Amino acid sequence: MTDRLDESLELLSSVVCFGGQQNQYQHRSAVLDCTMQFSVFLPPQAEQHPVPALYWLSGLTCTDQNFATKAGAQRVAAELGMALIMPDTSPRGEGVPDDEAGAYDFGLGAGFYVNATEVPWATHYRMYDYILTELPELLESAMPLTELRAISGHSMGGHGALMLALRNAGRFVSASAFSPIVNPCECPWGQKAFSGYLGSDETSWKAYDSVELIRSGATPLPLLVDQGTADNFLDEQLKTDRLITACEVMNFSAEIRYQPGYDHSYYFIASFIESHLRFHAKHLGLR
């Protein structure tokens, strides 16, 4: 599965998993101006022909490894013939700025999938362009992947997945999220990140806000959201009801499910990841 690899990709580790390969790579990102790591699960079908991919965006403090080791997604992905692409959550490395106080919700591990415009963040914190363009172009030229893509994520990554899909009609065939930050313009996590990365002009924030994008007439696509009712971030940070209201007002079809008793953890993700993979498989032409 590695004979097509671009010379700019360095394979860091590789293990056999459900008949496929769970690999970790690093490369020099021109968009982020730093060295980035990411993980890829290639199902066994990739030995025979190119396969479509699901991009998974992780949440605050995470790296490319959280989903790979905790979600249990590879079994179903191997059955379906779906690649899993797991990027990091922010630029990293020497010279990449971080929050001076070492906060978990800004700086390293907290890129929020935006293109920063403010100093000193603008040079490196361009995760929007990295996920939308640079990483797919690199992988689709170097690995047995088709140009069919779906996208999903958790918390901050759920925000990124929904927002990227809503802003770029046709780029992803479907989108889903667990516990997403759906209205970051109106919650403490989003307000802190957006004011730091994008500046004080709140009108510019709306381009990265899923509720605002739907209110503004975003092109519909297949969309699935799961939210646990025991999630301690639900009321202050996640505000799922605002997404439901926006979809109802705009007649935007989406399946948004409250799951009783589930929290914000990877136990929640592991419990429902199979239904998300099968949801995306239908739109990727796999089932």
Q: What is the model's pLDDT at position 4?
A: 53
Q: Indicate if the pLDDT at residue 71 is higher than 80.
A: yes
The helix/strand/coil state of 147 is strand
Mean pLDDT on 94-118: 97
Q: What is the model's pLDDT at position 84?
A: 99
Mean pLDDT on 173-184: 98
The helix/strand/coil state of 59 is coil
Q: Indicate if the pLDDT at residue 1 is higher than 50.
A: no
pLDDT band at residue 3 using 50, 70 and 90 as cut-offs = very low
Q: How far apart are CA 84 and CA 177, in angstroms?
A: 15
The helix/strand/coil state of 142 is helix
pLDDT band at residue 82 using 50, 70 and 90 as cut-offs = very high
Catalytic residues: 155, 231, 264
CATH of 3-283, one of 3.40.50.1820, 3.90.650.10, 3.30.930.10, 3.60.60.10: 3.40.50.1820
Cβ distance 228 to 263 under 8 Å? yes
pLDDT band at residue 250 using 50, 70 and 90 as cut-offs = very high
Task: Answer whether 0.95 is exceeded by the pTM.
Answer: yes
Give the model confidence (pLDDT) of 215-244 as tens digits.
999 999 999 999 999 999 999 999 999 999
Q: What is the model's pLDDT at position 154?
A: 98
Give the model confidence (pLDDT) of 17-50 as tens digits.
999 999 999 999 999 999 999 999 999 999 999 9
| DSSP sequence for 82-129 | -EEEEE-SS--STT----TT--TTSBTTB-TT-B--STTGGGT-BHHH
User: What residue ranges do the domains of the chain occupy?
Assistant: 3-283
Cβ distance 229 to 263 under 8 Å? no
Q: Is 33 left (phi over 0), alpha (psi -120 to 50) or beta?
A: left
Looking at every residue in the chain, the average pLDDT score rounds to 97
Q: What is the model's pLDDT at position 8?
A: 83
- Residue 216 is encoded by which pair of tokens? 């503004």
Q: How far apart are CA 118 and CA 196, in angstroms?
A: 7
Mean pLDDT on 104-123: 98
pLDDT band at residue 287 using 50, 70 and 90 as cut-offs = confident
